[in-house]
């Protein structure tokens, strides 16, 4: 395809406006994903959730992507029908799911509101609030992963051949402002009445995010029109279902996907329990614990774009992923076997969580062709969600088994102290596997020649 005239994506100002607009959608997505983490003790106290039930709730996010393969299907839909329809549809799922989750936590619902009696009729072992919140979080997860695939493809569409790694890094940095806000403010907001106010806030922000995406579609329509008018089109290979086999037959893609599942499974499920872990291990308040955990996304906000800029101009993406995985293991072992102030390992975890994503996501654009990129990201997110579903459940189950003497009465009296050591050891092993896959990826790149160690930015 030979370009004749400039398009919107050739405007530096326009590219960055687009980046910030779609990154806002990612930020509110991340806010709602993490909003429950500082509320674990409140869910135990006000709704009577056990640790295992809490794990089931946060794991519900990943069920549609694990069992229904929605991230893969969403990626295929994205490659088939485009960004605009796919994005609106799945961001709408997020908004509706968040509203149902907030409703399930509300006093109105739990005092016999609409749907309470119906949800009391089946699966009576579980409370109506748990069932509705799980369903809402399920819908949120159904939309969330595919919406991330959509936004990632948007960034690739506007920045490939330019500042791609920096743009993807900045996109993640802005998104993690949402995570930081969740950890900083959810605990303090929950001290006010009603305690579920942070969940309501997240639902409102996701509704605004849906409107923000509708505004983006206007620019996307104009860009596609310019591309059509200003290019001489050479017949391009269209995506078809058989291309899934071609994608998963690439050894580099296999290794980067395995690194993705092990690395993210050692971080995101940990964050779901980190505020409670700090309260139990160090005796911190819920508000202080949330502020300490917020160090991680704060670090990623600063470092992810910088590391992305480094890989744009210097390369070394595979090496960066190895180093980030090593830091991850060091952090989990520190939390497990030492009582050092959590400020240090949390800050180091923020660096690790900047290094690997800043190098990983732009590398996929080197490994997979443009017409398959949505499906490739969808496959990665679906496989990643296997870990995001299983490991919150495992952490909760291990936590309950490791603390058999703690009763609900002790929880209500605020006398329960949970030992997280066994759960942290499990996460450390995940990090070690991540190191192995990162090393295999670097070795394979020498054979495949995708240039993961070369700069991302094309020289003019």
**Average of per-residue pLDDT across 277-300:** 84
Please provide residue 232's backbone torsions phi and psi, each rounded to the nearest 5 degrees: -95, 120
The reported pLDDT for the residue numbered 455 is: 84
Distance CA 23, CA 21 (A): 5
Alpha carbons 29 and 173: distance in angstroms, whole number? 13
The answer to the question of residue 26 being in a domain is yes
Banded pLDDT at 458 (limits 50, 70, 90)? low
Q: How confident is the model at residue 457 (pLDDT cuts 50, 70, 90)?
A: low
Task: Supply the pLDDT for residue 349.
Answer: 92
Q: What is the 3-state secondary structure (H, E, C) of 190-242?
A: HCCCCCCHHHHHHHHHHHHHHHHHHHHHHHHHHHHHHHHHCEECCCCCCCCCC
Distance of CA 184 to the CA centre of its chain: 18
Kindly state whether residue 281 falls inside one of the protein's structural domains: yes
What's the pLDDT score for residue 5?
Answer: 66
Please tell me the distance from the alpha carbon of residue 250 to that of residue 252, in angstroms, as a whole number: 6
Question: Please, what is the average pLDDT of the chain?
Answer: 85
Name the residue with higher pLDDT: 442 or 149: 442
12 upstream amide cis, omega within 30 of 0: no
- Residue span of the structural domain in which 347 resides: 8-228+236-448
Most confident of 98-102, 152-156, 455-459: 98-102
Distance CA 342, CA 357 (A): 23
Number of independent structural domains in the chain: 1
Alpha carbon 136 to chain centroid, angstroms: 17
Domain-embedded: residue 257: yes
Does position 306 have pLDDT exceeding 70, yes or no? Answer: yes
* Range of lowest pLDDT (62-76, 221-235, 344-358): 221-235
- Choose the most confident range, by mean pLDDT, from 79-93, 125-139, 154-168, 354-368: 125-139
Q: Write the CATH number for 356.
A: 1.20.1250.20
**460 Cα distance to chain centroid:** 34
Question: pLDDT of 253-266, one tens digit each?
Answer: 999 999 999 999 99
Q: DSSP alpha helices (H): ranges in 230-282?
A: 243-248, 251-265, 268-282
Residue 368 has pLDDT above 80, yes or no: yes
Task: Tell me, yes or no, if the pTM score tops 0.95.
Answer: no
Report the pLDDT value the prediction gives residue 3, as an integer from 0 to 100.
46
Residue carrying the six token digits 């088994």? 401
């Amino acid at each position: 395809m030979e370009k004749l005239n400039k398009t919107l994506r050739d405007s530096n100002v326009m590219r960055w406006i687009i980046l910030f607009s779609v990154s806002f959608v990612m930020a509110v997505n991340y806010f709602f994903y993490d909003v429950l983490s500082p509320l674990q003790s409140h869910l135990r106290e006000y709704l009577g959730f056990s640790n295992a039930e809490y794990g089931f709730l946060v794991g519900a996010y990943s069920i549609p992507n694990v069992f229904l393969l929605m991230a893969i299907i969403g990626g295929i839909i994205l490659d088939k029908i485009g960004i605009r329809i796919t994005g609106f549809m799945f961001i709408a799922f997020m908004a509706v799911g968040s509203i149902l989750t907030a409703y399930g936590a509300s006093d109105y619902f739990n005092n016999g509101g609409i749907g309470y009696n119906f949800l009391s009729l089946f699966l009576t072992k579980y409370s109506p609030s748990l069932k509705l919140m799980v369903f809402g979080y399920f819908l949120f997860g159904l939309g969330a992963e595919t919406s991330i695939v959509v936004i990632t493809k948007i960034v690739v569409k506007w920045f490939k051949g330019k500042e791609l790694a920096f743009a993807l890094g900045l996109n993640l940095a802005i998104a993690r402002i949402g995570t930081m806000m969740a950890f900083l403010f959810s605990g303090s907001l929950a001290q006010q009445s009603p305690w579920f106010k942070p969940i309501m806030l997240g639902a409102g922000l996701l509704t605004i995010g849906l409107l923000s995406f509708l505004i983006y579609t206007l620019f996307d329509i104009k860009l596609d029109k310019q591309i059509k008018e200003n290019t001489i089109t050479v017949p391009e290979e269209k995506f078809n279902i058989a291309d899934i086999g071609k994608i998963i037959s690439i050894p580099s893609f296999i290794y980067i996907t395995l690194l993705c599942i092990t690395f993210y499974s050692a971080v995101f499920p940990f964050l779901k329990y980190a505020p409670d872990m700090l309260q139990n291990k160090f005796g911190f308040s819920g508000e202080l614990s949330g502020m300490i955990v917020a160090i991680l996304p704060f670090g990623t906000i600063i470092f992810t774009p910088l590391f992305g800029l480094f890989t744009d101009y210097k390369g070394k993406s595979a090496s960066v992923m190895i180093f980030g995985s090593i830091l991850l293991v060091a952090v989990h072992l520190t939390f497990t076997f030492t009582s050092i102030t959590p400020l240090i390992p949390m800050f180091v975890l923020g660096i690790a969580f900047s290094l690997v994503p800043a190098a990983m996501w732009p590398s996929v654009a080197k490994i997979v062709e443009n017409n398959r990129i949505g499906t490739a990201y969808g496959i990665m997110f679906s496989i990643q969600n296997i870990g995001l579903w299983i490991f919150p459940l495992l952490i909760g189950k291990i936590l309950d088994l490791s603390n058999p003497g703690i009763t609900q009465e002790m929880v209500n009296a605020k006398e329960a102290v949970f030992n997280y050591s066994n759960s942290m050891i499990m996460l450390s092993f995940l990090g070690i596997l991540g190191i192995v896959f990162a090393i295999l990826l670097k070795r394979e790149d020498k054979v495949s020649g995708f240039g993961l160690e070369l700069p991302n930015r094309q020289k003019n």
